[in-house]
């Protein structure tokens, strides 16, 4: 299982290295990371989110046990990290991004092909549900907290008004909601529209990884290795252990769904936190280190999980 997993992980490092090399050789300028990330946030990722939700029948989401297991596992780790970072005097917006670093698995780029490889076609349904919960629900929750943290109004009414205005104009929230409504109305995406969404949405993960590499290629970036290590431990050890306990001992999911939930929760941190850190112009050094280290260490931890579960 190690060799197939390595085959899935290597392209992730390849794309990060491509961005790193482009910045180090100065072929791509100092603003390339931010501009490429803006392309992902405003165009590519919204297209992907809309496409996913528009093609997901509402009936497919009727899996309350799996949703509870995966949602509680990721949500609890996010909330615990958020509270600890606030206790450590971290700004609310930065604490929310740190929460994502500890709870946001790379379900799309790594999870879907890995589940297909390990458990077969039947595992794609829970993998898609987990992807929706990660890139739509958890992501949206983090954005709401970030927006709350960035408002400076002291009056609660004014603060909520500004937050609401920011949220209804945020493409990362509007796109999946529009896709869900599209699916609920029984509409279909086909023809040129489908090709457009596939082409644009397909650029989201590769471009985000290249943008991460560009950021890593910048000089004099201070990185808090201690904090990044703690976030990686939460992501690769605490979250899968919590999900395992919930899946096998609390909700007693069917074996395939339980195993898929554990493997998906054990995946390394995805690029979502880095996108938000860059988009909201927050310090991204810890985030970039957490993504890079968790991806590397997951070669060992995910292989171990697979060996135990298979």
Residue 257: predicted pLDDT: 93
What is the DSSP secondary structure assignment for residue 60, as one 8-state letter?
G
Residue 66: predicted pLDDT: 94
Per-residue confidence at 260, pLDDT binned at 50, 70, 90? Answer: very high
Angle, CA 200 vertex, CA 199 and CA 206 arms, to 5° = 95
Q: For residue range 161-213, what is the model confidence (pLDDT) as tens digits?
A: 666 666 677 787 788 888 889 988 888 888 888 999 999 988 888 888 888 88
Q: For residue range 94-109, what is the model confidence (pLDDT) as tens digits?
A: 999 999 999 999 887 7
Per-residue confidence at 81, pLDDT binned at 50, 70, 90? Answer: very high
Span 19-34, mean pLDDT? 87
CA distance 55 to 59: 12
Residue 166: predicted pLDDT: 65
Span 222-245, mean pLDDT? 90
The closest alpha carbon to 82, from 149, 32, 8, belongs to: 149
Angle, CA 69 vertex, CA 66 and CA 74 arms, to 5° = 125
Span 145-149, mean pLDDT? 86
Residue 1: predicted pLDDT: 55
Per-residue confidence at 159, pLDDT binned at 50, 70, 90? Answer: low
Residue 75: predicted pLDDT: 95
Angle, CA 132 vertex, CA 127 and CA 133 arms, to 5° = 95
Residue 105: predicted pLDDT: 93
> With 60 as the cut, is the pLDDT of residue 29 above it?
yes
Tell me if 90 sits within 8 A of 162, measured CB to CB. no
Residue 284: predicted pLDDT: 83
- What are the residue ranges spanned by the domains of the chain? 2-219+231-309
Angle, CA 113 vertex, CA 71 and CA 306 arms, to 5° = 70
Residue 242: predicted pLDDT: 96
At the topology level, CATH places domain 2-219+231-309 in Na+/H+ antiporter like fold (1.20.1530)
User: Which range scores top for mean pLDDT: 61-70, 155-164, 234-243, 270-279?
Assistant: 234-243
> With 60 as the cut, is the pLDDT of residue 115 above it?
yes
Rounded to an integer, what is the distance from CA 162 to the centroid of its chain? 26
> With 80 as the cut, is the pLDDT of residue 149 above it?
yes
Residue 220: predicted pLDDT: 47
């Amino acid at each position: 299982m190690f060799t197939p997993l390595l085959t899935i992980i290597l392209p992730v490092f390849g794309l990060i290295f491509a961005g790193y090399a482009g910045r180090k050789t100065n072929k791509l300028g100092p603003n390339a990371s931010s501009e490429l990330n803006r392309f992902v946030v405003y165009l590519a990722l919204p297209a992907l989110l809309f496409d996913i939700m528009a093609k997901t029948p509402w009936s497919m989401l009727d899996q309350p046990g799996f949703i509870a297991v995966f949602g509680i596992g990721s949500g609890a780790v996010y909330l615990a990290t958020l509270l600890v970072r606030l206790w450590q005097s971290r700004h609310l917006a930065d604490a929310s991004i740190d929460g994502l670093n500890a709870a946001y698995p790379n379900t799309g780029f790594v999870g879907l092909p890995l589940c297909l490889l390990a458990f077969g076609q039947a595992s794609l349904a829970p993998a898609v549900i987990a992807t929706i919960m990660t890139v739509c629900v958890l992501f949206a929750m983090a954005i709401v907290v970030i927006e709350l943290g960035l408002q400076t109004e002291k009056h609660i009414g004014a603060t909520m008004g500004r937050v609401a205005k920011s949220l209804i104009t945020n493409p990362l929230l509007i796109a999946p909601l529009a896709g869900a409504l599209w699916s609920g109305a029984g509409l279909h995406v086909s023809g040129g529209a489908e090709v457009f969404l596939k082409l644009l949405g397909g650029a989201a993960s590769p471009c985000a990884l290249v943008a991460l590499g560009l950021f890593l290629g910048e000089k004099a970036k201070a990185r808090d290795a201690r904090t990044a290590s703690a976030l990686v431990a939460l992501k690769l050890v605490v979250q899968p252990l919590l999900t395992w306990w919930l899946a096998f001992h609390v909700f007693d999911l069917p074996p395939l769904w339980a195993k898929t939930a554990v493997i998906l929760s054990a995946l390394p941190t995805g690029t979502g936190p880095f996108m938000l850190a860059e988009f909201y112009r927050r310090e991204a050094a810890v985030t970039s280190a957490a993504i890079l280290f968790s991806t590397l260490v997951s070669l060992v931890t995910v292989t171990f999980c697979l060996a135990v579960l298979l």
